[in-house]
Amino acid sequence: MTLPITRPHVTPARVCLAWTGASGLPYGLRLLDCLLSAGVTVELIYSQAAQVVAKQELEMRLPSSPEEAASLLQERFPGRSGQLRVYGRDAWFSPVASGSNPPDAMVVCPCSMGTLASIAAGLADNLIERAADVVLKERRTLIVVPRETPFSVIHLENMLRLAQAGAVIVPPSPGFYEHPQSVADLVDFVVARILDQLHVPHTLGQRWGGTV
């Protein structure tokens, strides 16, 4: 049964962003950049597997310490230190862990099939799963960017279950009608679709019909 959820089309002030162990961390890093550029406060959480992916795909050392990670990312995105908060996976006293102080929206990008299954099952064994559970129960926007291919029946059933609970499923499937010239163009196409779902203004490419 699909729950009727109506959300206002306003730019969120706070977004919880989770990076997990699926391939596709360039999407997550670019999304972080765009959210900060739009003036959004980002509460970042990442899994241990995401640290491995960051090294493999971006040649970026993502520290285990949230404080060190915050310093690293603030160097990468200077002038936005007040907008970025990084939490450890067991930071149970962080705002996103409670329905009394939920973010306006949450994006899991990229989302591994393990994290997808845990959220669909209502588990809360770490802060990523708990934050997603909070966002769903408080009827906030949860966007899941699942990166796997092909999908098994189990994967599809988990996505359907989340969609029926009100989540938005955004597979990272770039279009080619804009004639992308680089990997960055393909990344921007997907990130633009995520930003659209968040109602965050952007200029990442042309709209269908020729407008930016």
Supply the pLDDT for residue 209.
82
Residue 156: predicted pLDDT:
98
All residue ranges of the chain with pLDDT < 70 are 1-8, 211-212
Identify the pLDDT of residue 84.
Answer: 96
- Domains belonging to the chain, first-starting first, are 14-198 (3.40.50.1950)
CA 30, 36, 42 angle in degrees (round to 5)? Answer: 95
pTM: 0.94
Q: Residue 10 has what pLDDT?
A: 84
CA-wise closest residue to 159 among 175, 135, 140, 142: 142
pLDDT at 77: 93
Quick one: pLDDT at residue 5? 55
Phi, then psi, of 106 in degrees rounded to 5: -140, 140
Q: What's the confidence (pLDDT) of residue 29?
A: 98
Which residue in 155, 141, 80 sits closest to 112, CA to CA? 155
Residues 6+ apart with CB under 8 A from 121: none
- The confidence score (pLDDT) of residue 56 equals 97
Q: Which residues of 197-206 are buried (b: 16+ CB within 10 A; e: fewer)?
A: ebebebebee
Running DSSP on this structure, what letter comes out for residue 206?
A: P
Lookup: tokens for 207? 């709209």
